[in-house]
Amino acid sequence: MMKNTNVHIGRLAVTTALVAAMALPACKKYADPPPFFEDDSSGAVLNGRKVMLIVVDGGVAQAIKTIAPPAITTMMEKGKYTYTARTEDVTTTGATWKTLASGVSYSRHNISDSSLVYSAASGSNQHDAPANYPSFMQFILTSSRADIKTSVISPWGYMVNKLFPEAEDPVVAANDQGVKDSALLRLKAPDTDLVLVHFNGVNIAGKEHGYSASAEGYKQAVLKVDGYIGELMAAMKARPEYNKSEEWMVIVTASHGGNGNSHGGSSLNETNVFTLYYNENLKKQELIRGGFNGVQMTGRDATAIKASLSNGNDYNPGTGQQTVQMKVRGSAGYYPHFFSKMERWPSTPGWSMFSSGGNWAISVRTTTSGEQRIQPGSPTVFNNQWHTITVVFADSAGKKWVRRYTDGIRHDQTEITSLFNNGGTLTTSAPLTIGWGADPGYTGVTFFPADIMVFNTALTDTEIYSNICLKDVTTHPKYTNLIGYWPGTDGYGSQFVNKAPGQTTNFVLSGPYKWAGLTDVPCSLNPLGSGEIAVQPANVDIVAQLFYWMRISVNSSWNLDGSGWINLFERELVQL
């Protein structure tokens, strides 16, 4: 069997490869290097793909790493695993389980608690019918693999009935031991195809003792569930056709973690989960996040992918000084606007950056003035390479100026003093927006944004040039003046989180966005290292992973948010 451990590929490439992989037959041969032949000792063709999905509520990634439970540690020898997988930025049990079951993120399904009832997003029409995002078992029933027997085993009966009404074999157990015993029975049945096993004891212990490896009660709960997992693995391997006519993928993950004695928030211990994909043919490998993980802005009108702040009154320059900076990687035509704080160009107050071929320009208008357009040719920025663009609203010699920089080099300075006559201010209620919007007559620029920064002061030429590739923003000489910092590399969820000191105003994504990984990174990030991947493993991916493994073609109408990356290891997984 051919092996391939090259995982330096982004989510965009992963998505393309996933579609191609769906069309593969059960067996695949590779001609380079030359074929290798050996005697066939089994006579069996492995095409009976099966799945066991084990979900542990309350499993904190770093706690699992510290405790090193023996059954899970043994599974790592034949698995791809990570301690940096993401669940949701809302870590209630209801929100995280809905994401895991549907392959749709919280920002779309809006299930926020254990009632598992849709909650309309703020600002939406409360009378609109809620969108329907069924479980992956519904999709199975409408696929060519409708014959798959599905089992769901959980101590939470309401969840079984509410999230998985399509399950052929729903089981509600009294406790984790009952879950384990019921799962063992299914693993002994020859017609079992997909079994979902849900343990809740670790979560109960976390609420009582604390979600920490140092809490003895929590540690013992982890070890008990790990023992149950060991029994399930032994039963699976004892099946007469295991690794003969049956190929099993086992996924172990947590729906959410915990912090202190609770969960539901967005702290690292709550959102970071351990995840393991096990198969007899996989090489041991810890998946370490690397590369660039972001969202590509593109489109217009209803198809526009963009990000905006919720409060339009934030980050107005007013009559003061301000520096706005971001990195971009993409392509553009003439005049679409891509980064703005302006309701409608050119007739409303604010500022808006727009492309001029491969160059960029800016339009400025105060509350009492006409438009000042600053459009002399800049160095090329829209050539599908990373570039840094900076605009400074500055006071100097009793006058007001706009300075533009590309990759840290100032290329023009324009006086705008007259714009502030008669009490004019650079103030607007339009929210700071990345992507299409300020001039709706044009389509959007297709680009990835990163390292969006706002300082409440005018940075000097030296401060800009010396810090465009800063890897630790806390060392910036004007860090205390940083009032907005959105790296845009979150890799999951519905927001670019604000990492500026003391700030909580996040960019909210809208449109049919997808998180994508690139091996090409901005200069503020380190290039991929050995064993790193340019994706952010997440629980929203699990549905796509299941469908890849079970050879179920994904229908575009299902609107899944997750992407399958397990196909990166196809040469390890496909037996010849």
In this structure, of 98-102, 109-113, 464-468, the range with the lowest mean pLDDT score is: 109-113
**Angle of the 542-549 helix axis to the 11-22 helix axis, nearest 10:** 30
Secondary structure (3-state) at 332: coil
> How confident is the model over 246-284, as pLDDT tens digits?
999 999 999 999 999 999 998 999 999 999 999 999 999
Residue 7 is predicted with a pLDDT of 38
Predicted confidence band of residue 130 (pLDDT cuts 50, 70, 90): low
Report the alpha-carbon distance of residue 23 to residue 99 in Å, rounded: 26
- As a whole number of Å, the end-to-end CA separation of the chain is 6
* Residue 169 near residue 186 (C-beta atoms within 8 A): yes
In the chain, helix, strand, coil percent, each to 5? 25, 30, 45
In this structure, of 42-46, 99-103, 144-148, the range with the lowest mean pLDDT score is: 42-46
Asked if the model's pLDDT at residue 5 lies above 80, the reply is no
Give the pLDDT mean for 433-452: 94
Task: Give the helix ranges, DSSP H, for 106-175.
Answer: 106-109, 136-141, 157-163
Q: Is 542 left (phi over 0), alpha (psi -120 to 50) or beta?
A: alpha
**Degrees to nearest 5, angle at CA 165 with 162 and 171:** 90
> How confident is the model over 284-343, as pLDDT tens digits?
999 988 889 999 999 999 999 999 999 999 999 999 999 999 999 999 988 999 999 999
Secondary structure (3-state) at 463: helix
Residue 311 is predicted with a pLDDT of 94
Tokens of 90: 């809302």
- Give percent above pLDDT 70 in the chain: 89
Residue 120 is predicted with a pLDDT of 63
Report the alpha-carbon distance of residue 459 to residue 388 in Å, rounded: 15
432: enclosing H helix or E strand = none
pTM of the predicted model as reported, rounded to 2 decimal places: 0.79
**Higher-confidence position of 22 and 462:** 462
* Residue 323 near residue 351 (C-beta atoms within 8 A): no
Asked if the model's pLDDT at residue 92 lies above 50, the reply is yes
Phi and psi of 404, rounded to 5°?
-115, 140
Tokens of 85: 């997988």
Predicted confidence band of residue 366 (pLDDT cuts 50, 70, 90): very high
Asked if the model's pLDDT at residue 359 lies above 90, the reply is yes
Q: What is the CA radius of gyration of the chain?
A: 26
In this structure, of 86-90, 158-162, 196-200, 247-251, the range with the lowest mean pLDDT score is: 86-90
| Partners of residue 10 on adjacent β-strands | 534
Asked if the model's pLDDT at residue 28 lies above 70, the reply is no
> How confident is the model over 543-571, as pLDDT tens digits?
999 999 999 999 888 888 888 888 888 88
Q: Is 76 left (phi over 0), alpha (psi -120 to 50) or beta?
A: alpha
Residue type at position 169: D
- As a whole number of angstroms, the longest Cα–Cα distance in the chain is 90
